[in-house]
Structure 1
Amino acid sequence: MATTGAERAFIGSFTSAGGPGLVAASVDAAGALTVLGAVDTVPNPSFLAPAPGGSVLYAVSETGEGAAAAFDTAGPLPRLIGAPVDVSGSAPTHLVLTGGHLLTANYTSGSVSVLPVRAADGALEAPVSVLRHEGRGPHPERQQGPHAHQVKQDPTGRWVLSVDLGTDSVRVCALDAVTGALTVHGETALPPGSGPRHLAFHPEGRHVYVLNELEPTLTVLRWDAAAGTLEPAGRTALLPEGTVGESHASGVAVAHDGRFVWAANRGQDSISVLALDVSPEKPVLVTTVDCGGRWPRDLALDPAGRRLYAANEHSGDVTWFDIDPRTGVPSRSGSVEVAAASCVVFA
């Protein structure tokens, strides 16, 4: 039987909406999750990032004050390492480890914070720099100012990309691993009012897929790692023509073999399946499938790339799907209850 390539998963949730906090779950050979327990030592651990090859997990605390925390995951349940650290930004929604630092994307304050990671135990230290975005977009409610929604390392490890929903742009930044200074190398404008939320790289490392929250589309960009530049190459609809009703795209994942892209659509409560067989620059919408719940906030592939997991926030569950390797279409396999679920990561 095909395995997931992982023995444990961790699920983030919104404690302010009744979530249990940071949830630990076992993963069996069929990809099924079984909740082992939860810790609520940090409010709203909405997004998580495991340290590669180690037993440390990092979480944002998506609150008005904004914090990040490190957890030791060697035991049955995660254990807080030190105290949560103020990120000097409001409502951090995403985080990434790179260059000996933890970077957080702070939505409300429209900034990216850089926190040193202590090598001895993985504990976090106070921010050494905060990069504040500038600008706005045409949406009268959602784009009155910058809203950093994701921060992600490029495959070479040289650059950091910051996705801003409020300014309709992606910034390419350079991180000084010694000082922690983060500087903007360049900024790429996306269609006005599109509201970019998250991005994912194609496994060949030369293309980027940006998921737009304010319109149901996926923007394709060419990535030049040597120059650190992005070039728009096209845009694809995430929903069939004629679809009615609200849709707010949230999570995006790319198949390990580079043949498919999946995107979660809140409101429509669906997962879009896009094929890349023609070209990495020409995603083709194949179909949409039910997400197994309501308001899918994030999507995650298991480490083996054979299963897809949707964190359904409003229905309070994580649903998993087996992926047809020929068509890329997910088929529902099971689910587990987690109130106000927001993301899933594997360790």
Structure 2
Amino acid sequence: MQQATNQTIHRLVVGSYNTSEHDAIHLLTFDTESGKLHRAEGQAGVENPSFVALDSAKQRLYAVSELGEGAIVAYRFTGCSEELVADSSSQSPSSAEKLAEINRQPSGGDSPCHLALDASGQWLLLVNYGGGPISVYPIGADGAVGPASHSVTHTGSSVNPDRQQGSHPHSIYAVPQTDLYLVNDLGTDAVYAYRLDRTNGTLSEQSRTRVTPGTGPRHLAFHPIQPIVYVIEELTSAIAVFQLNAADGSLAHRQTITTLPTTFTGENTCAEVAVSADGRYLYGSNRGHDSIASFRIGEDGLLAAIGHTPSGGQSPRHFQLIPGGQWLLTANQESDRVAVLAIDGEGRPTLTDEHVELRKPVCIRLRP
């Protein structure tokens, strides 16, 4: 019997683009000793739960329903969570855990695509890609999401006529050890910094960093030690490195580096970016080249390219680094596959044969 407490088996949640009639949220287990990935359970009843956020302390899950008139859906985990059991006949770890819906709230806009939980556990913050508001929602003692307490809306556009005709907030991230949140707006080519008032659930803009026109900032990652922010540019397939001013969330540009090999001439857009827990390596996903780009992080926080690894499918929209630094899981949206990559001691991923088939996976979250 494999105990979860020895940290060899990790639990994950995968969000996807699927209809409400089918399982669209999936509970997976991953064994770091064997490199085996297994689907343990699924949840139907919600459409396009693309991105999810976890309150592991309170055993809750929050998912967007990415539709024209979107929603937030709150769940609680039920059943056994202390132990993951290996079925002796199948050798497949399984869990008795399931999801039970708590409630839903309208997102207040078109295509909610990213969300974040405040460290206090009392607030949820959400962005709507379709030009809608960035909103704050209170979370009740039972985990239910209340009506929005405050919303702000961006205006403006940028130089790409197909993708930047208006505001497109694409992600929201808490700045560690602060009450600040950074919002990447792909449509206006800007990174906005907001301060959250945890008493009233309101946002106040602190700064606005303009990035290079036409780049389309999508997601970002923080260096675990240095005040450095890495922003992945969806439209120009690059990563921009910024110095972070933790007082107001403003960013000072230091470097831009491509995510693509010099020989690639096809179409590509970037999606996810993540930094290893030790701050030594950074990874970004390419959709088109269908690869994970790897970089070494210098002592100054700047990047040097290592190479590229096949993502294990088409259109790697998201990926998850596994604690220990030896594994990376990719959500390949257009080939219905979550794939396993092994990372060597020099930070280089290698695609393995291990994978699970899920319809249009687009987000992988680790359950600490």
**Structure 2 counterpart of 1:113:** 135
Match for residue 180 of structure 1 among 196, 201, 219: 201
**Structure 1 counterpart of 2:92:** none
**Structure 2 counterpart of 1:60:** 64
After superposition, the Cα gap between the structure-2 partners of 1:204 and 1:54, relative to the gap in structure 1 and judged at 3 Å, is same
**Structure 1 counterpart of 2:123:** 101
Larger radius of gyration: 2
Q: Deviations over 1:111-135 (max 9, x none)?
A: 31111111x2211111111110111
Is residue 45 from structure 1 mapped to residue 49 from structure 2 by the alignment? yes
After superposition, the Cα gap between the structure-2 partners of 1:143 and 1:316, relative to the gap in structure 1 and judged at 3 Å, is same
Instruction: Verify the 8 A CA contact 1:210 1:218 in the aligned structure 2.
Output: yes
Out of 189-198 and 51-60, give the one that drifted further: 51-60
Q: Deviations over 1:243-277 (max 9, x none)?
A: 11011100111011111110000011011001113
After superposition, the Cα gap between the structure-2 partners of 1:336 and 1:193, relative to the gap in structure 1 and judged at 3 Å, is same
Q: Distance in 1 between matches of 2:132 and 2:73?
A: 20
After superposition, the Cα gap between the structure-2 partners of 1:17 and 1:264, relative to the gap in structure 1 and judged at 3 Å, is farther
Instruction: Verify the 8 A CA contact 1:172 1:187 in the aligned structure 2.
Output: yes
* Equivalence map 1:1-347=2 (5 Å): 7-16=10-19, 20-30=23-33, 31-75=35-79, 76-81=97-102, 83-98=103-118, 99=120, 100-118=122-140, 120-277=141-298, 279-280=300-301, 282-325=302-345, 327-333=346-352, 334-347=354-367
After superposition, the Cα gap between the structure-2 partners of 1:140 and 1:186, relative to the gap in structure 1 and judged at 3 Å, is same
Q: Distance in 2 between matches of 1:7 and 1:191?
A: 39
After superposition, the Cα gap between the structure-2 partners of 1:225 and 1:104, relative to the gap in structure 1 and judged at 3 Å, is same
Q: Distance in 1 between matches of 2:155 and 2:226?
A: 28
After superposition, the Cα gap between the structure-2 partners of 1:205 and 1:277, relative to the gap in structure 1 and judged at 3 Å, is closer
Q: Distance in 2 between matches of 1:260 and 1:244?
A: 26
Instruction: Verify the 8 A CA contact 1:308 1:321 in the aligned structure 2.
Output: yes
Out of 299-308 and 191-200, give the one that drifted further: 299-308
Instruction: Verify the 8 A CA contact 2:309 2:351 in the aligned structure 1.
Output: no
Q: Distance in 2 between matches of 1:87 and 1:17?
A: 17
Q: Deviations over 1:80-102 (max 9, x none)?
A: 11x21102121011100014211
SS at match of 1:314: helix
**Residue type matched to 1:200 in 2?**
A
Q: CA deviation at 1:6?
A: 5.3
Note the aligned Cα RMSD (angstroms).
Answer: 1.8
Q: CA deviation at 1:29?
A: 3.7
**Residue type matched to 2:245 in 1?**
D
TM-score by length of 2: 0.89
After superposition, the Cα gap between the structure-2 partners of 1:17 and 1:53, relative to the gap in structure 1 and judged at 3 Å, is closer
Out of 206-215 and 128-137, give the one that drifted further: 128-137
Q: CA deviation at 1:50?
A: 0.7
After superposition, the Cα gap between the structure-2 partners of 1:304 and 1:115, relative to the gap in structure 1 and judged at 3 Å, is farther
Structure 2: where are the runs of 5+ without partners? 1-5, 80-96
Out of 221-230 and 172-181, give the one that drifted further: 221-230
Q: Distance in 2 between matches of 1:223 and 1:172?
A: 11
Instruction: Verify the 8 A CA contact 1:14 1:20 in the aligned structure 2.
Output: no
Q: Distance in 2 between matches of 1:55 and 1:32?
A: 24
Instruction: Verify the 8 A CA contact 2:108 2:132 in the aligned structure 1.
Output: no
**Residue type matched to 1:329 in 2?**
R
TM-score by length of 1: 0.94
Q: CA deviation at 1:46?
A: 0.2
Q: CA deviation at 1:316?
A: 0.3
Q: Deviations over 1:6-32 (max 9, x none)?
A: 531111010149973111122224342
Percent identity (aligned): 35
Structure 1: where are the runs of 5+ without partners? none
SS at match of 1:11: strand
